[in-house]
Amino acid sequence: MEQALVVGASGGIGAAVALALEGRGYGVTRLSRSADGVDVTDETSVQTCLERLEGRFTTVFVTTGALNLGPYRPEKSLRAVDPSAFAAQFALNATGPLLVLKHALRLMPRDEPVRFAALSARVGSIGDNHLGGWYAYRAAKAALNQLIHTAAIEVARSHPHSVIVTLHPGTVDTDLTRDHRGSHAAMPPAEAAAHLMTVLDKLTPAQTGGFYDWQGKSVPW
Domain ranges of the chain: 3-213
pLDDT digits (tens, 9 = 90+) for 211-221: 999 999 999 99
Residue 64 has a pLDDT of: 97
Query: Residues of the chain whose pLDDT is less than 70?
Result: 175-184
The set of residues, in sequence order, having a beta carbon less than 8 Å from that of 78 and lying 6+ positions away, is 135
Residue 215 has a pLDDT of: 97
Number of DSSP helices (H) and strands (E) in the chain, helices first:
8, 6
Q: Residues 72, 146, 62, CA angle at the centre, nearest 5°?
A: 65
Residue 179 has a pLDDT of: 61
- Cα 8 to Cα 17, 30, 46, 77, 129, distances in angstroms: 10, 8, 12, 30, 27
Q: Could you name the CATH architecture of 3-213?
A: 3-Layer(aba) Sandwich (3.40)
Q: How big, in percent rounded to 5, are the helix, strand and coil portions of the chain?
A: 45, 15, 40
Judge contact between 219 and 168, C-beta under 8 A: yes
